[in-house]
């Protein structure tokens, strides 16, 4: 596919959000950079004052997870095909099989409202106070009947912890060369709209934090979830600092044709695509991406809903194919010495956790990640 129509030599300003939407009561905040609007300055100040970045000792692996990621909600969570205990099961596989010690896992902080306002509008965050609205976003109608304090505690709090994990993982990747958030990848959520089980835009937030705190200006998103990543595509529609490679099944949700205009490199698959064809198309796509854009950070959205049998992805990729896919992306980054963050994103079968754990184990065996301890 052709690059989206915008000047790649021009570094454009980040997503512009009105000061009122950001919750700004006055324009007293001085701009930290020339030409910045009061809203830009407020966003920057929020990022600088955030507690989500903290120092992680070398005795920890850059693998981010909290038991708070997992969702248990009176059994209601089982009404959506997503395995809401997937994240914990991945870590248990890795620790029980001796690949990763529990003490080496990094626990993130919960993203606060001020953190979320870096990307989200005040109006959108306020809308999550409606259980009806949250039920629509996560596609579980019975949530409508639940008091919102319970929805916040049992569902949105785990999501906010995962957002904190995605943001911290970018910092760890710049320090260590790679990081894995055993969660996150909520790629259907944008600044003003959630959907598809995605309530917060963790990919956009992670990148905006990295621009300010990590002093980088070029990020590549490699989105290999089975679904189009329409959330981050809308958020970075006019931001030339972000290059998006999205390889997805064009015959399934979200059918967001407006967002497709903002994909730099789209690979549209058909339902039933099998492993060899999939991996061949990925090889070709990565070669093209390497010639088009030189990022300082890669965000890898590694959804496992491409697996054969997944009820929503409608592709036919074998477990071994997923392991090979992840290895290809990590090698793509390592060969160019580009830090990479992996997020686990979608995957709607119980087998997904096993496949992800096997893939991380393979990455360790191939020396593409190091799960052992490092000296402080």
Catalytic residue among 187, 188, 227, 232: 188
268: Cα within 13 Å, side-chain hemisphere: 13
Return the SS3 of 265: strand
CB contact at 8 A, 300 and 329? yes
Distance CA 136, CA 144 (A): 8
CB contact at 8 A, 221 and 299? yes
- b vs e for 267-279, b when ≥16 Cβ sit within 10 Å of the residue's Cβ? bebeeebebeebe
CB contact at 8 A, 199 and 235? no
CB contact at 8 A, 352 and 83? yes
| Tokens of residue 241, six digits | 């600092």
> Which residues does residue 179 pair with via DSSP β-bridges, in sequence order?
341
Q: Using alpha carbons only, how large is the chain's radius of gyration in Å?
A: 19
| Tokens of residue 24, six digits | 């700004």
Distance CA 176, CA 364 (A): 14
Nearest to 343 by CA among 303, 376, 370, 289: 303
- Residue 283's Cβ-count burial label (10 Å; 0-12, 13-18, 19+) is exposed
Give residue 121's Cα distance to chain centre. 19
Maximum Cα–Cα distance across the chain: 57
Return the SS3 of 180: strand
In 3-state terms the chain splits into helix, strand, coil percentages (rounded to 5) of 40, 10, 50
Q: Is 188 a catalytic residue?
A: yes
Query: Which residues are CB-neighbours of 225 under 8 A, at least 6 positions away?
Result: 185, 187, 248, 301, 302, 303, 305, 306, 345, 346
Quick one: which H or E segment has residue 44? helix 38-49
**Residues identified as active-site:** 188
């Amino acid at each position: 596919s052709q690059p989206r129509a915008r000047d790649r030599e021009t570094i454009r300003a980040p997503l512009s959000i009105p000061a009122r939407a950001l919750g700004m009561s006055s324009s007293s905040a001085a701009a930290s950079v020339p030409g910045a609007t009061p809203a830009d300055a407020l966003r920057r100040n929020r990022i600088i004052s955030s507690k989500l970045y903290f120092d992680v000792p070398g005795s920890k692996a850059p693998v981010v997870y909290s038991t708070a990621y997992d969702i248990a909600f009176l059994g209601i969570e089982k009404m959506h095909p997503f395995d809401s205990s997937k994240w914990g099961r991945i870590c248990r596989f890795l620790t029980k099989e001796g690949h990763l010690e529990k003490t080496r896992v990094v626990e993130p902080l919960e993203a606060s409202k001020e953190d979320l306002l870096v990307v989200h509008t005040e109006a959108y965050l306020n809308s999550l106070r409606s259980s009806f609205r949250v039920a629509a976003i996560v596609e579980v109608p019975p949530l409508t009947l639940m008091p919102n304090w319970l929805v916040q505690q049992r569902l949105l709090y785990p999501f906010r912890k995962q957002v904190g994990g995605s943001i911290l993982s970018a910092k760890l990747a710049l320090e260590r060369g790679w990081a894995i958030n055993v969660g996150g990848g909520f790629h259907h959520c944008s600044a003003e709209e959630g959907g598809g089980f995605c309530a917060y835009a963790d990919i956009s937030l992670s990148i905006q934090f990295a621009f300010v705190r990590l002093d980088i200006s070029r990020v590549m998103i490699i989105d290999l979830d089975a679904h189009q990543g329409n959330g981050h595509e809308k958020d970075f529609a006019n931001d030339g600092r972000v290059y998006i490679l999205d390889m997805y099944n064009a015959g399934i949700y979200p059918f967001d044709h407006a967002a497709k205009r903002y994909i730099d490199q789209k690979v549209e698959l058909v339902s039933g695509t099998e492993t060899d064809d999939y991996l061949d198309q990925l090889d070709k796509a990565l070669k093209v991406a390497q010639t088009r854009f030189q990022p300082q950070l890669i965000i890898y959205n590694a959804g496992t809903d491409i697996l054969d049998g997944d009820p929503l992805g409608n592709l036919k990729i074998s477990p071994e194919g997923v392991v090979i896919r992840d290895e290809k992306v990590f090698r793509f980054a390592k060969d160019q010495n580009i830090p990479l963050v992996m997020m686990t994103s979608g995957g709607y079968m119980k087998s997904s956790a096993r496949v992800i754990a096997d893939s991380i184990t393979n990455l360790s065996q191939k020396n593409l990640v190091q799960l052992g301890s490092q000296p402080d």
